[in-house]
């Protein structure tokens, strides 16, 4: 099979994920972010990269968004929200962070394949995203892609859709957002 044929198969898989994501869960996440004082995002590996891109876009929207562990990240306080991007919902370092956030009075959200996971159970809100875990032993969504690729791609596109919903709710357009883009480069 040619590379472009694989690409077409990946895109078909991604299109099928759309109907499996709850609009109600997504809207609850959007509203939770808009109500939070500060928003933190966390994930490990490729899911972490997707989470960081989400934090960047939220910053472009004027939301105080941060990634734990970065040198300019402020403290987490009551009224803040942390969003975990974790396919399994069991990554030990993220579980520990979720427990700490709860103890500080923050809101915890999980973007995960498994809402009944440890992080999912700790979360105040979850959005179930289709995909297969890295070992592909569980999950209700089959994919031709290796490891957690489908979840990670769905995560990125879902977060971009959340940004579009923010833009609609806040009356923003790309030109207003571009004014917050890095300009020292």
- Written as six digits, the tokens of 144 are 């031709």
152 catalytic? Reply is yes
Q: Rounded to an integer, what distance in angstroms lies between the CA atom of residue 19 and that of residue 141?
A: 12
- Written as six digits, the tokens of 101 are 């956030």
Q: Rounded to an integer, what distance in angstroms lies between the CA atom of residue 110 and that of residue 124?
A: 8
What is residue 135's three-state secondary structure? coil
| Residue of 78, 90, 152, 185 marked catalytic | 152
- Give the gyration radius of the chain's Cα atoms: 16
Residue 36 vs residues 16, 92, 106, 117, 127: alpha-carbon distances, Å? 31, 25, 9, 24, 17
Q: Rounded to an integer, what distance in angstroms lies between the CA atom of residue 48 and that of residue 97?
A: 14
Residues with catalytic roles: 152
């Amino acid at each position: 099979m040619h590379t472009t044929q694989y690409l077409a198969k990946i895109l078909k898989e991604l299109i099928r994920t759309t109907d499996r994501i709850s609009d109600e869960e997504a809207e609850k996440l959007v509203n939770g972010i808009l109500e939070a004082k500060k928003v933190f995002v966390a994930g490990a590996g490729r899911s972490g990269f997707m989470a960081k891109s989400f934090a960047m876009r939220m910053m472009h929207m004027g939301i105080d968004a941060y990634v734990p562990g970065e040198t300019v990240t402020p403290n987490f306080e009551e009224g803040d929200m942390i969003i975990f991007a974790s396919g399994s919902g069991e990554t030990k370092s993220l579980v520990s962070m979720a427990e700490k956030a709860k103890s500080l009075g923050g809101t915890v959200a999980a973007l995960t394949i498994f809402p009944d996971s440890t992080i999912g159970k700790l979360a105040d809100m979850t959005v179930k995203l289709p995909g297969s875990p890295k070992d592909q032993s569980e999950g209700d969504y089959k994919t031709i892609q290796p490891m957690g690729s489908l979840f990670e791609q769905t995560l990125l596109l879902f977060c971009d859709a959340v940004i579009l919903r923010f833009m609609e709710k806040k009356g923003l357009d790309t030109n207003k957002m571009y004014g917050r883009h890095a300009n020292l480069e």
